[in-house]
Structure 1
């Protein structure tokens, strides 16, 4: 069988990729290839950073390919002669289309939509979610926005670098995305941050270089021999300095302001509509028309609620807090027109508390466990921007505050002491935004201790024990509620068991938790309808029912509006509390122990579980032991001020009884600083070497020629003249023969010619050195890496 190949020809398939690469590279403008490579690496860095942030867990793995596809698409369009407006329009239209294709399956899975529904149906469903404020709580919508952002990041950067030659403008969306990731998930972003900084500096340096060369070519400007070398030498040193500054300087901000923007764009939109439709309504759906989840100063049995995912604050805990992490905003004590409310009229007593000081309490409860909460208020609730939130009982905070007490004890005016803090507000400034550290306490008592607390209530507690008989609910409803309470507690012998019996009844299978409860007929009391008909509602329904029943039995009780524990992120080590965590719970008073929380809300799918009593097995920081939160009780009776548990004092004993020096693993931030410092050091060394290889004298050129020849394997022989050496180097390094001869001849003139002729050799030697230097450096590299030769 004869070959079908041309006579004498030989074709290798392995040559196809190399040929294609050569043709592609030849067709790309000068500098565009390296610019494209840096752009692609930057885009991948930003996309991988967003994947690590896990804004939508498990659904962001496609982001790197989306961002890269955007960069490639606009990069190709940038290199074509198409009008700029047409190319940009193509990129703008492709972005939402790609994002929609990726997010559509998730949207279908999360929402009840006809499988045969068209794209128009999906768009209309999304627009409905945007209008009612629930869009940002929909993971499909978040996926759509983030995917679109990644497309814009890649496409815009590629277009600005390759077509407009404006990398600074192109970096804007990507930098914003990376900054948002770093501020919200700093633990997983160190490597991406370092890569972004290095690649950004490289892109700016390379773009400046190619732009300068292109400008010189356009005006027919001849560059000096060492102009390019001088540019890179200066640029690399500057890059090293900027890299050190970027890594070592403290951050300008550790708070993500985009969360506030998110609030105004999504969650607050629905709240604003509710405010316009029902001007007297505030917060958690306290009107028949419903509303959105969030903090309020009233508790009512209203209509359906829509979930708002607006982040409110983040927090960490120092020490062990034995109580539930329920963040108190206001104690709700008054009843009127079917509502429990915080009073709009002036409260009985207000006390100004200086920063770091503790209020003087009229009663001290024991044992009181202390803990320190570090809270960062991101977006204060609408209408309550001065309120500080905290769990348990307030002791001190690093803000100037005003503590309000709705019902003051008769002796409060004379003793200036507080029996309870019903609301804690900040002043100067009167906004709670930002970080604050607050020390709180919780009475760590057992059920048996609460059963034995008795009912010897002090005089100041009387306003919390009675039901208002006029202006609150119909008398027949109050009677039915009281009779139900009596039937539930008939087998109990103390106040604690009575409260537990009512809580257990509301948490039973008869009741169902829902954000869309049925509404009573006109004229029927909502609580009556909840307890005896519908048996369905959200936290305000359950708390109101328990509060009314306990007061009908003469047990002192109040409701509390605030937030639940929120969700924990292992990547940041922070709890984040959203509007969806807004909650109302019940607190009953027990002599010697104070206000004890109860959880009547029957929602087993969330965190609203029965509150445990004194189950902690770890040591607690007790006030009676003069403990400082985060430290340990001191045997001497004085507080031990120190770090968090496990903190090692220098040369002091460790927790296991050993002494001496201990090594700790480096955190990610330290590793990043070390890596950045090493990279900057390498760049500085490169700059120093570059400066050494740019001599200004003939003697300097000759010395560096001898040094590079020695590194390449050829040494100056004893008694060998410069011209003899040049002939030997020309034979060893034939590609550098002409430059070596010019350097040697120039050196001979400069060294041995009369003084009036010697300076004339300098220019020719420096020009010959510019040609010789890269050739000699290649020879040195080949010797150092023989396997690459």
Structure 2
């Protein structure tokens, strides 16, 4: 070993590569600037690495070392966290304020609330990054467990990449490079320990030779991975990961509830809309094709609705879940007047998606599904007795959709005209007033006062909503806004301070102000119509069509959509001709009023809404597919070559032919469970191996003789002779290894 390696046996290059791994992960977390001040975790990553290295080289038992690390790490996180508080605070006030933030966050965690405290987000990530650095250093320099350093860092990197902007791909590439070289270097160190124990001589500079060839191998693998087809596009992979979608969605919802961050970059995951959403900073939505929709009408492809406003975002608090069969006759939804049924066909291009979309109020779907809903009481046509009904807020497929797979939804959409809505009254059901008039106590009074001022001349709920909608549409539309202050109500900030924003802010402001003047409202999210293709009678929907709007409840007519966002067109509603009398309790609805929607499903499905078809997105020519196939074969060939190199060449670059032949022979011996003992002489080990591989007895004896002569005799040996002996021995070793492997899968004969 070199003098430097004596000071750090694992090698300074190992430390450099480990720092590269951990810091690449850390920089990938800070690069999207989720919240202001997040850069402090870069210091914590270095502190964690240093603490892990120093404690790994002490004689402290693991429990004591880990305990010391936790205490020291918590102190570092707290100290750096106080530096993010206002400079006017003295040190004592800063620690008291920090304790207040932690206590308030814990209270929300334990009571099911949501938090938008950026400081707690930074503290949490600071603790995580500290542990990441400490564990990686401990695993490298104390326990020598390669995967204990790789797996946690890779998990954090890829989860962050999953949520972050596409530009984070560069961090993934750099991390993979550091990780492969780290893997090679630490495994070389472990191999050196084995050689030292077995008294195998090797050149001191082998580490640098090894890293040089390892770097070439790493660059080749990374280049092939870059051009190979993405696993995310594989339907088989999507189906596999889809099995874990439900628990992963629960994790996402919990994370969003506890850590509402200030920036949003769109979602890389197939299910983009969860049970919570935050009013955040700038948005950056891509142009990826999400789906095609064939429908005779409609404006919004809805994913979910939110009923509870928190001051920083919205929650879906529905707790009822149920499983449906295709067009399940047991599904009953609230019935309203002036409605018609409409069929939509959705063609999904995101493999692995389970979230399903629907116009307005869905009443049936052609595949097995799971719904989230709140239970209400209502009546079916021709049945005077009230029954339990499902006010559906979210729909999920029970099996993930593949790319190009379609599903059909039947929805009930409103045809109510302005005069009908204006005369709807305020006789709201109890289930509406209990859920859709909620506002937090922290809502600033000036928001309520502004809503009251805008609607003071309006009498009906419809006129109040249209007045609020008109006011909001005068606010400037801007997707690249600054991050909101963590302690300020988001709607208040939007209306009085920022006075610009995007659809999330417009819809939230309308829903909140409507509730403040006694009009039940909720926020809905999903996608706008997208780009219409007249020949195919279909809409192409992309990521940048993601949208939020408002649904307002009107007695007898149900949920009606409103569009407060300045960048979108106002919803045009029919006006009743002057000669038409106002409806009396819905009697003008004719036979539709007395017909259960279930009775019309088959009729609707038989109607021709299929139209044409849009070309699938980003279709590739046949020769492109051939290139991918050839690339796949090349990747497999490199992988096989790499496996051969690991078995027969790893760690032997600087060895002479005689030493290399003997080292290869002992490596195969270990694979065949013929392990060298400290008491064995080379000849005794050769005898043991010959008993296991009788066909190789001659070459084994010759390789051993040459090795002993070179190690313990001043005589020179013919290295070409050892190479020839190894060529004779190799087939016998491979055959015996494959035979032993096959024997593991053979079923033993039954005893008679």
What's the TM-score, normalizing by structure 2?
Answer: 0.48
| TM-score scaled by length of structure 1 | 0.46
